Structure 1
Amino acid sequence: MIRIHVILWLCSFFVWHLLFVSSFCALVFPYGPLSLFIHWILWKLIWSLTICSLFSASLTTPAEIPRNFVPPHDFVEKNSRRLLDAVAAWARNQNLPVRFRRMATESGMTKAPNFCYICRLIKPDRAHHCRKCERCVLRMDHHCPVLGECIHMHNHKFFMLFLLWASMLCLFAVLTVSPTVIFRMLALYRHSNLARMIPTILVTSGTVNALVCGIALLCFLRELTIALLRNETTLEGIALHNYGERDAFDDGIAHFDLGSKFANFISIFGPDPYFWLLPLPSTYGSGCEFQYYIKYSTVADEEQKACTQQQNNGEGEE
């Protein structure tokens, strides 16, 4: 289902395209027909890739969380007093590929996987509940207000391509138009002409708009690219910034870095370079299970310190 956000953005793209391109090509372009045709083809190509990436990012909905992550309907009611312990037992019985988190309960500390009390399911690693979409999303990066949709495992590539091609579209317009705009503005300064002033103002405003949007999109794309090369989502980056290296998982602090920037990149863009710049599906993986390595284990360190202290106390008493 296409959300109203996408329709509005698509309309804005068409309006900007109509005003900017028609004014520039028909009234301002200073070169010959062949050069105009080449510029028009390049513009249409980049514009088409931008629109296709936008549609792909919007129409690729999050994959359903497998049924074996969903306990029976009356599971919560039956185990309301010791729910986390029951969740842990269920996850072990189902052999779910999830990490166990150290959690505080009324009866003390326990170890259990993340459980969504709203969707009533065990959340796979890197999954989060989106309050806007009212569902749990596999490998959720963030909720995009532009698309009105979550950026997740299987549309992350399309969203980054949308940022890339949209920024390239803006910069292509700026680089192509700026020399002509500057020349015409100087000419208007010397000799005012209403017939030239209106298209020049339209193209100038479009150029400024393209410059601002292009810079903003490139900055956002840069942040997402840096995170992708670490195999880190936006939400994971925020959690790391807020909580530092503290980690509540039983096995210590985990990073999903696959060992190289290239391996992290192809985990989303796929191994085939022919598809990297095209809005075609190439992401592999179900989004339910991820490789990770333990940087260091704070839990193991604490337990080792406790054992050492007990041994020292025992030797002192002797």
Structure 2
Amino acid sequence: MTMSECLKRVYCFVKTLPLIFIIILIGWSYYAFVVALCINSVPAEKVGEKVALIIFYHVFFGMFVWSYIQTIIARPIIPPKEFLLSNAEFLEHQSNSEEPSRQRDQLLRIIADKHLPVFTRGMQNSIRVCQICQLIKPDRAHHCATCGICLLKMDHHCPWVNNCVGYHNYKYFVLFLLYGALYCCYTGSGSAKYFVDFWMEGVSDIQAFRFHVLFLFFAAWMFCISLLALGGYHLHLAMSNLTTLESFRAPVLAGTGGPDKRAYNVGAARNFCQVFGNTCYLWFLPVRNWQTDGINWQHRASYSPGQQSYASMESGHANSPSRTPIEKQQLVPTSTSGRADQVWPESETQ
């Protein structure tokens, strides 16, 4: 094994440490509530209370764990092959690096020829290109330095799930946060009565397992507050049709003249349905039912019927062909783990 392979394996292990910590914490909370609280702390004569606590606990626990697993295992979706630059196109792009206008014209020509729905612009109205993956970035796509790939509608990389959060699992992630808050709220409330009893007895008379109830109460409410705040923030982002990256750096659409945080905002209800789907009863389940394809995004400025498209606003490209939705075809990553098999570079900011 070479040194680089050894370092890569060490890096992969270190990345999983936050995930391992959360899994251990969830396992401990299960023992603390079911065994230490329900079985050992609740008096034996209160069978109804034991049963009710355990049944409702498993409902919240099941939804929380289901959402968490879905967030972890959902494979990031990378841009379709149409966005890839051929070797000749990429070499031409690099050779024009000293002449931004020629570089931009070349990319606009490729976009027009392939009918790519690319309207987001980078700094100084440039076309966003990933030098690592050698592709034109679709709208709202970004390169993740940790995963080493470009992915659709990237929100952020979350070490607690050891996965990127984006188009492929954003619904799961929001549900994970909200169900996590509900789970913590339930365990904190269920242990409150016996937490008080802890302080009513002499410490010398308390059995060791009761200390699990004490720590469960504190941990549950601490995580409940943090998860509720984070879940509320991401629910706000979903209702505003923003990603975490876009909330810090507003997208720039061609022909609009500057950054606009409301670029993709088509109304709270439609924004919500883009993430959670149109079927009401599926909103609460971590299953895939969202309507968007991760590539073709409706813009606020073009939402009204008959509104001129951004492509026609481009200087010198008013007669370019209209954009049509491309097929949802994924590239095959170069590694079996779903991550690009390459050195992890610094993250791009465009």
Which bin holds the TM-score, normalised by the shorter protein?
A: 0.7 to 0.9
Aligned twin of 1:306: none
Alignment pair present for 1:10 and 2:18: no
> Structure 1 residue runs of 4+, over 6 Å off?
none
Q: Counting helix residues as a fraction of each chain, which structure ranks higher? A: 1
Q: 2: distance between equivalents of 1:233 and 1:77? A: 32
Letter in 1 for 2:28: V
**Matched residue SS, 1:198:** coil
Alignment pair present for 1:204 and 2:214: yes
Alignment pair present for 1:216 and 2:226: yes
Residue 16 of structure 1 and its aligned partner are, at CA, apart by 2.4
Conserved? CA contact 2:42–2:50, under 8 Å = yes
Q: 2: distance between equivalents of 1:179 and 1:276? A: 33
| Residue of structure 1 aligned with 2:110, choices 86, 90, 114 | 90
Letter in 2 for 1:25: C
Letter in 2 for 1:278: L
* TM-score, structure 1 normalization: 0.81
Letter in 2 for 1:218: L
**Distance of aligned partners of 1:23 and 1:200 in 2 relative to their CA distance in 1, 3 Å threshold:** same
**Matched residue SS, 1:266:** helix
Q: Unpaired segments of 5 or more residues in structure 1? A: 105-110, 241-245, 300-318
Alignment pair present for 1:289 and 2:296: yes
Alignment of structure 1 residues 163-178 onto 2, 5 Å: 163-178=177-192
Aligned twin of 1:250: 255
Q: 2: distance between equivalents of 1:22 and 1:120? A: 54
**Distance of aligned partners of 1:41 and 1:266 in 2 relative to their CA distance in 1, 3 Å threshold:** same
**Distance of aligned partners of 1:77 and 1:270 in 2 relative to their CA distance in 1, 3 Å threshold:** same
Conserved? CA contact 1:102–1:249, under 8 Å = no
Aligned twin of 1:143: 157
Letter in 1 for 2:168: H
Percent of residue pairs bearing the same amino acid type: 26
Q: Counting strand residues as a fraction of each chain, which structure ranks higher? A: 1
Conserved? CA contact 1:140–1:152, under 8 Å = yes
Residue 201 of structure 1 and its aligned partner are, at CA, apart by 2.3
Alignment of structure 1 residues 279-318 onto 2, 5 Å: 279-294=286-301
**Distance of aligned partners of 1:62 and 1:102 in 2 relative to their CA distance in 1, 3 Å threshold:** closer
Conserved? CA contact 1:87–1:115, under 8 Å = no
Q: Unpaired segments of 5 or more residues in structure 2? A: 1-11, 97-101, 303-309, 311-350
**Matched residue SS, 1:277:** coil
Matched residue count = 281
Alignment pair present for 1:25 and 2:52: no
**Structure 1 residues 205-227: Cα deviation after superposition (integer angstroms, max 9, x where no partner):** 11101110110000001111111
Q: 2: distance between equivalents of 1:89 and 1:228? A: 33
| Larger Rg computed on CA atoms | 1
Aligned twin of 1:312: none
